[in-house]
Every structure is written in C-alpha cells, then in structure tokens.
Structure 1
Amino acid sequence: MKRVVITVVIIALALGLGGFGIWVGNLPPGSTAAPMPVPATETAATLQALAPRNERPVIAIIGLNDATETTDYLMPAGILRRADIADVQLLATEEGPVSLYPALSVLPDATIAAFDAAHPQGADYVIVPAMSRDDDPAVMAWLREQADKGSTIISVCAGAKVAAAAGLLEGRRGTTHWFYLKELLGEHPGIHYVADRRFVVDGRIASTTGISASIPMALTLIEAIAGRARAEQVADEIGVGQWDASHDSSAFRLTRPFVTAVMGNVLAFWQREEIDLALTPDFDAVSLALVADAWSRTYRSRALTSAPDAEPIADRDGIRILPDRIGAAGAAIAPPGLTKPAAALDATLAEIAGRYGGPTANVVAMQLEYPAKAL
C-alpha cells in the first residue's frame, strides 16, 4: 500500500493544489451498502473444491526473505496451526529471516529447497502472500512446480499478482486487493474478476481480496479439511462470527475521505512516532501481526517490537518472531498477548481513532480491506 501514498502525492504535484482539490472533489464519498449473502450452493461448491487429497494435508506458506506482507504471511499460519488439522510450514526462498512489511521479522521453518527434499510429492495447499516482487524467479518456478504436482494454490491479497505472474490465474475467476485490481486485470486480461466476494475458488486456484480476507479464507479451508464444527471452534477462538465469502467490493476504493486523510498524515511529517510492542512469552502471532500491521499503516506511526535480548521468541503456535530492538523505546502500546485476534484488531482501530482521529482509523481499515464500522 506504499503505492497509495506515491500515487496520491504524484497526482497532487501534477495537478497543483487547486487541481488536486478538484480531483478530490470528484472522488466518490464511499459506500455503506451491506454485502449480499452467498448462495448455499456456491459455498458448498467452494468447500468441495478445497477438499483435501490427504487425511492430514501439508500446507506451505511461501515468502520472500527481503519483503513479504506481514499479515498475509503470519495470519494463515497461526489460524491453521491452532486448528491442528494439517502440517503448516512457513517457507522462504533463502536461508535466514523473512523481513515482513510494514512490520515484524520472522524465522521461517524451512527454505523451499528443504521443503522439496522433505516433501517431493508437493504440498496439498500453497498460500501465496503479497511480496515485494511479483515475478521473483525462484517463486515463479516453485509455484509452477507445486501446481504441476497437484497443489491447491491460494493467493492472499496482492499475492494474486504473484500467482498471475506464474500463469496460474489465466482464464480463471479471481480477485485481489481493491487497490491492485486495475493493475492486475491490465497486466492479465485473461482473469475473470468476481466482485462482491472476499475469496474466489476456481478449481485448484483460489484468491482473496485485501489483507484481512485471509481470516475467512483460512476458516473456510479448515471447514473443507475438518468440517464445520472444527471451523466453528477456531472461529470462536479468534473472535470471528461468520466467515463466508460475502463482501461489498464497492466499499473499498479511493474516496475523498481516504485521500484527504492520507495526504494530511503524509504532509504532517513532523508528527511521526514509533509504537513499541514488547514481545512477551504469552503473545499470539496472529494478534501481533494484525496490531503491528494496523499501527504501521496510519502514515503517522510504525510499530517496532522489543525484547530483553535479540533471541527469537516463539508464540503459542511455534511462530518465531525476531525483536526489532533490545529494550523499549517510543510510545509503548500494550502488547496483544492472547487477545482474540479479531478483538485485538478492533481495539487497535479504536485506539488509532482515539490517537489520530477516526479518518485515520478508516484509512487503516480500508488498506486492510476490513469491513469494520466507521470510526
């Protein structure tokens, strides 16, 4: 979403202040429409398409070491691991930690080479987050190999651009984050875009809308693998009431309130601050990812983790986070601990609204493509 700022700033400079005001005035005010329910037959077809080929499937989540989206990478891993219905591995293209954006750093479980040696038959499911490069050669080759081995490929958010670059979305129905939709369809006109769905499944290829859509996607995958009752248990643990594919796509786009809030925060460069999140032994990586991601999307702040030493700290599900620094600094925010992830995100948005104003909290929700109430 850094491109949002770049795009808005370039337009402002190109048009001048007067022209920029006209452009902002011509933007839509936003949408408050409620999403339409998804037909039961469509939901049943989705679950059937995602049905596992093995009793305890292997799920691989691939990342680039230099930059992979925070919540896209960590949230599916944490949600699927707590379900305990599959072997879930965080992978990287190379040795070493994965630097996530806009926040956090994590130690993966294995490289793609090590995974291939241990699982020559391939993964049952491969989850593809947004990455700094859509066409990394190692990622492209590995995704094609996994698809050829029969893996179900699930792109999250702008990870659809990665899957599309590998040729996996050609001629298929799909979706992506609202901000990248025009770019995706412009570069890959063979994709059949489906509006008003948080995720779309076409055969062995699935895609989701923005960042927060990995929550319903992960729960739907749990339901496909282990049944509705297990999915309901996990949904309750993370604080989610429903997880179908319903979505109001028209609510997520460049609007006057969004652009005005972003530009105001970007121009107020002297008001930047760092938000300190102290890592404690009882933290939950899913909640931490959502909280750190949200604080780092305000254009007023960025989240950094701290710990007594530089050693990685594992959460309840074995996800190993590397602290950004030793000792706290900046504005201390209470770490999420074992707070239910959905509640942690809602509380963070409310805290952002209290600190920077409701428009900034709505900017964050818009970037996460999170259907939160106006703050």
Structure 2
Amino acid sequence: MNRPNRRRATWIGLGIAGMVVIALAAGAAWLLSLPPATTPAAPPAIAESERAATLSALKPPKRPRPVIAIVGINDATETTDYLMPYGILRRADIGEVAALATQPGPVKLYPALRVEPDATIAQFDAQHPQGADYVLVPAMSRDDDPTVLQWIRGQAAKGATVIGICAGAKVVAAAGLLDGKRATTHWYYLNDLLEKHPTVRHVPDRRIVVDGRVATTTGISASMPMTLTLIEAVAGRDRAEAVARDLGLPHWDARHDSDAFTFTRPFALTAMGNTMAFWNRERLGIALRPGVDEVSLALVADAWSRTYRSQAISFAAQPGPIQTRNGIRLLPEQVGKDWDGERTIALTAEPHPAKALDAALNGIGQRYGTRTEALVAMQLEYPGEHGRTETRTTSMQ
C-alpha cells in the first residue's frame, strides 16, 4: 500500500477502527477503564459580549461582498465539512462561493460522495490574485499535504480569515496558523492536536472559537452553526435568521457540552461489535437527481456511512455530473437505473435540511439499534438526544 492510501486507511471512521484493534488486543481491562456513557448537560447561554466579539472578528476583511473558498484535497476530504458550508452559503447569497481542490479532477469525499469542484487552487489564484476573504478548511485524510498547507499560508498572508471545520483545525495548525491561539476541534482529535501543537490553547464548551483572523469548530455537525454565524457577520442577523428558517434551525450559537463527547465504553463496544460483524455489512444506494439539496444529501450520506454496518453509495442512471440545488456537481459512484429497494436510502421529503440528520439517525436506530444511532451521533459530534438511547429529540444548536 502506498503512503497516501495507507494514510487514508488509518483515517477511516475517524480512526475508530484502529481503536477497535487496540481494544481487541488489550482486552476487558481496557474496556473497563473507559467511562460509561454521559448525559449531555444544557450548556449556559453565550454572553452577548462574547457573541458580539465573535461577529466582529468575522467581519469581511476585504470586500463587502466577500469571496469565500472551500478547499479540499482530491483523495479524501470530509463530506459534510465540504458540502454543507457550500450549500448554506450559496443559499444565503452573501458572496462568491467556490469549492476548490488542490489538483485537477474530482474530489473523493469521505465517507461518501464524489464531486467535481468549481476550480483548482491555481485557477482560483489566477482569478483572485488578491486572495479570498474567507478560506474554509474541512477535515482531510492527511494534515501535512504540502500543497494545501502552502496555499492556506498564502491566503492568510493576503489577509483571508481562515476557518478550520472539525478536524480541519489540524490542517490549519499544521500550516502554523494556530500557534499560541485559542482553538477547538473534533473531540476525537483534540489530544493529537494539542500534542503536535502544544502552544494551542483549547477552549472547552464552545462549538466555535475565533482568535484574530482564525476560527475553528468542534466536530462535523458544527459546520452548520459556524456557517450561520459567518452569514450573520457578513450580512446581519436578519439575513442569518432567514437562512436558518429555510434550513429549519430555530436558533444557533457557540454553546457546547464538551464533556458529553468522549471515547466511552458503550461507544467502544458498539464500534467493536459492528466492525467484527463484517459479514453483515450493507451497501445502501442514494439516487442522485438534478436539484438535490446538497446539505440534506451530505448529512444523510455521511451518517449512514458511519455505522460500521453500512456504506452509502451514490448512483444515477447516466454517467456524468449532476448539478445540485445550489450548483455543485456530483459524480455518481455507480451508474445504473435501479437499486434494491430495501437497500435504498430515500432522502426525506422534509423541506428543511436541518431535519435530515434527525431523520437519518432515527432510521439508523430503527435498522441497527439505538447504540449504533448513538455511535454515529458521537462521531458527528451532534448535540442532543441521539447521543443517548432512550429518547429521540435533537437540536443543531
């Protein structure tokens, strides 16, 4: 296995498969050392002074109508981190939004979907020699890709605000932009981030942390409140609230219960059990159709591909790109008219994309059990009741 493929393999499932191997080797003592599941607490409200400071720091640094670049590497960039900000920002119509790749060709998203980016970083630089106003950095299969690190540094030097989504904070840190700064990241990668970059000052109980012209977020689902916060900073509260209503999100802010997200005993046992049942794994099809909502699609495909029991596969009747509601081009992973109806994931008819993840998690719970539902919610760092097994009401806030 060559080096990029080996790196990608170790990244699969947020590294949890590797932890399963450790658990099998260490045995019961290791499992017993893990804490039981925790009950999420209701975090206190964010002070108005803190909220105002966050919005002030995120104001457009260059243009009233900003240029926003979402960058990914071609071989593995996180699905929701890449697609959700794109779809929401395009809905908001607050600036020019471009989905970029470091090299020509499609971007293979992880754990599901494949897209045709708007441009390469070289093409973007030729079109925007003054640089972007904002650069969004999703989680990637490797933190040390020299091309993306050099480009992020260059954009920061031109005055861009750099936003690390989820474990994209590790990429931002590797570019040297988090040295001595306050930050956060996905719970699973926090220790790794702090070990490699000891001057980073972790801020607990916040989904969004802004320090100067650099922002970071907690896990995958945090890209929605982060994007709405950015919309508010650029275009005002009324515009952000209108987009939030369109998404089906009544309110959002930076509050977070960090203690609710950790490697617990139920989490480990479920990951182990689902991984070991390799004979009982499914490929579930998602039909790609023109005009599909990319936010709903990303959330659903991401969730169903994190069960260790299933993998979401996009399919279409014909080869070639299929344009989503807000203009990104999806490339089907399989071409064919039909898929076994019992193994098809139907995107919900619910018009509000924020509800799509709830529907997907409920479906996962019904198909594989509530422990697998909680396993997926924990990977997505999704606050609310899906992290527990006895109730079913969640919130993206």
Q: TM-score, normalised by structure 2?
A: 0.91
Partner of 2:29: 19
Mapped pair 1:84 → 2:93: yes
- Measure how far apart 1:7 and its partner are: 1.3
Secondary structure class of the residue paired with 2:222: helix
Mapped pair 1:206 → 2:215: yes
Identical-residue share of aligned pairs (%)? 60
Partner of 2:257: 248
Deviation track 1:81-122 (CA, whole Å, cap 9, x = no partner) reads: 100011000000011100000000000000000000000000
- Measure how far apart 1:68 and its partner are: 0.3
Deviation track 1:128-162 (CA, whole Å, cap 9, x = no partner) reads: 00111101110111011000000000000000000
- Measure how far apart 1:8 and its partner are: 2.5
How many aligned residue pairs are there?
A: 371
Q: Is the 8 A contact 2:162 2:215 kept in 1?
A: yes
Partner of 1:266: 275
Partner of 1:165: 174
Alignment of 1:261-340 (within 5 A): 261-327=270-336, 328-330=338-340, 331-336=343-348, 339-340=351-352
Match of 1:3 among 15, 19, 29: 15
Match of 1:191 among 197, 200, 206: 200
Mapped pair 1:127 → 2:139: no
The amino acid that maps onto 1:170 is: D
Match of 2:51 among 43, 50, 61: 43
Separation in 2 of the partners of 1:75 and 1:151?
20
Q: Is the 8 A contact 2:58 2:230 kept in 1?
A: yes
Secondary structure class of the residue paired with 2:189: helix
- Measure how far apart 1:329 and its partner are: 3.1
Unaligned runs of 5+ in 2: 1-12, 390-397
Partner of 2:363: 351
- Per mean C-alpha deviation after superposition, the further-off stretch among 263-272 and 80-89 is 263-272
Separation in 1 of the partners of 2:75 and 2:348?
26
The amino acid that maps onto 1:175 is: T
- Per mean C-alpha deviation after superposition, the further-off stretch among 87-96 and 233-242 is 233-242
Secondary structure class of the residue paired with 1:245: coil
Mapped pair 1:372 → 2:384: yes
- Measure how far apart 1:281 and its partner are: 2.1
Secondary structure class of the residue paired with 2:325: coil
Deviation track 1:149-208 (CA, whole Å, cap 9, x = no partner) reads: 000000000000000000000010000000000000000000010000001000100000
Partner of 2:229: 220
- Measure how far apart 1:21 and its partner are: 4.5
The amino acid that maps onto 2:380 is: L
Q: Is the 8 A contact 2:14 2:379 kept in 1?
A: no
Q: Is the 8 A contact 1:310 1:322 kept in 2?
A: yes
Separation in 2 of the partners of 1:19 and 1:6?
17
Structure 1 residues 54, 338: closer, same or farther in 2, change over 3 A?
Answer: farther
Q: Is the 8 A contact 1:276 1:304 kept in 2?
A: yes
- Per mean C-alpha deviation after superposition, the further-off stretch among 211-220 and 333-342 is 333-342
Partner of 1:59: 68
Q: TM-score, normalised by structure 1?
A: 0.97
Partner of 2:5: none
Partner of 1:181: 190
Secondary structure class of the residue paired with 2:71: strand
Separation in 2 of the partners of 1:98 and 1:340?
26
Structure 1 residues 225, 2: closer, same or farther in 2, change over 3 A?
Answer: closer
Structure 1 residues 109, 63: closer, same or farther in 2, change over 3 A?
Answer: same
